[in-house]
Amino acid sequence: MVSYKELGLVNTREMFAKAIKGGYAIPAFNFNNMEQLQAIVKACAETKSPVILQVSKGARNYANQTLLRYMAQGAVEYAKELGWEKPQICLHLDHGDSFELCKSCVDFGFSSVMIDASSLPYEENIALTKKVVDYAHQYDVTVEAELGVLAGVEDEVSSAVSHYTKPEEVVDFATRTGCDSLAISIGTSHGAYKFTPEQCTRDPKTGKLVPPPLAFDVLDAIMEQLPGFPIVLHGSSSVPQEYVDIINANGGKLPDAVGIPEEQLRLASKSAVCKINIDSDSRLAFTAAVRKVFAEKPGEFDPRKYCGPARDLMEELYKHKITDVLGSDGKLAQC
Ligand code: G3H
Ligand code: 13P
Ligand code: ZN
């Protein structure tokens, strides 16, 4: 058993309380490799933002669970080296799908876990979530749960349809499970293809797809039911058109990729939405930078020469999200 406290990590409780009060959201960035982690830590140290480092089941399988834990511990030390005196870094399991996986992460030094039982019937979701909460809380590990179903397809997370969270269920769910935060479905979606062209309209000037707006009325109704309760938005990448264009101009093929407009995320950040999940945008930045180097310098074969630019572009992306979208910059002193 390794306690996250020994690793210098923090859980989400204080982070979320301050974020709700301050009208900003904590960035939850997924990582699978060293370059992503370096870029996240550098961006957060520079902007003075607290951060949630997210690890999916797939990331754990890809990078090795032991290595990932030491990487998170290394991130804390690296942050200090960058002048971040008391790093506010949370290590979070993203989309845990079983009690055993959540328990393993709690035992392995994670400071927060998500149990995603949203695809199960309501009572089963409650039972599994409560089981995880009861275990995690013994070690002061915070638990995110999910109610409602997001659309979109990712490696380990898939759902062809979406169902908005029902505001009339949230009080019963939060009370009976004891979860610390709730991921809701209000129209966000995983991956780089969040909406089909049929669900969008087209901007007459640019011809680009304009996605349908998020269901802010559902968010408002949820906040009315659960005043001050931490709300989480998954599937919140914006799929920046400039990255898609670079990818497509350099041999890639991402037709009609579309994300969540940043103005809507900016608006959500000012509410009880205190954690916003971003993964796909980082994947797009990485891929855009690598494709560009490969296209411009076909003789290049030193990974540092293409992973380096990828790291730089991701750092720029993370800083932009923190300062221009989520508003978590400069919030370290308050945590
Ligand atoms: O929401 C899912 C995350 O983007 C993680 O995706 O399972 O492919 O690592 P992954
Ligand atoms: P995106 O695919 O929109 O980046 O969402 C990531 C996410 O929700 C991770 O849990
Ligand atoms: Zn997610």
Vertex 81: Cα angle to 77 and 86 (nearest 5): 65
146-182 burial: b if 16+ Cβ within 10 Å, else e: bbbebbbebeebebeebebbbbebbeebbeebebbbb
Instruction: Give which of 3, 29, 8 is closest to 76, Cα–Cα.
Output: 8
Residue percentage of the chain with pLDDT more than 90: 87
pLDDT for position 198: 86
In ligand 2, the atom with minimum distance to the C-alpha of 114 is 10
Testing ligand 2's pocket by substitution, the residue of 234, 244, 264, 275 carrying the most ligand atoms inside 8 A of its CB is: 234
Q: 33-42, 80-89, 207-216, 296-305 — which is least confidently predicted?
A: 207-216
Q: What is the mean pLDDT of residues 247-274?
A: 96
Ligand 1 pocket, residue 157 CB under 6 Å: yes
pLDDT for position 316: 98
208 alpha-carbon distance from chain centroid: 26
5-51 pLDDT, tens digit per residue, is 999 999 999 999 999 999 999 999 999 999 999 999 999 999 999 99
Q: 88-92, 204-208, 312-316 — which is least confidently predicted?
A: 204-208
Ligand 1 pocket, residue 188 CB under 6 Å: no
In ligand 2, the atom with minimum distance to the C-alpha of 154 is 2
CA gap 231, 165 in Å, rounded:
12
Q: Is 94 in the active site?
A: yes
Query: What pTM value is reported for the model?
Result: 0.96
Testing ligand 2's pocket by substitution, the residue of 55, 243, 280, 317 carrying the most ligand atoms inside 8 A of its CB is: 280
For residue 326, pLDDT over 60 is answered with: yes
Sign of the dihedral through C-alpha 39, 141, 113, 220: negative
220-232 pLDDT, tens digit per residue, is 999 999 999 999 9
- Under a CB-based contact definition with an 8 Å cutoff, are residues 265 and 214 in contact? no
165-176 pLDDT, tens digit per residue, is 999 999 999 999
Q: Which ligand is nearest to the CA of 157?
A: 1
Backbone angles phi, psi at 144, to 5 degrees: -100, 135
Higher-confidence residue: 6 or 161? Answer: 6
Instruction: Give which of 292, 270, 272, 281 is closest to 315, Cα–Cα.
Output: 281
CA 235 to ligand 1 centroid distance, Å: 9
Q: In the structure, what pLDDT confidence band is assigned to residue 157 with cuts at 50, 70 and 90?
A: low
Ligand 1 pocket, residue 150 CB under 6 Å: no
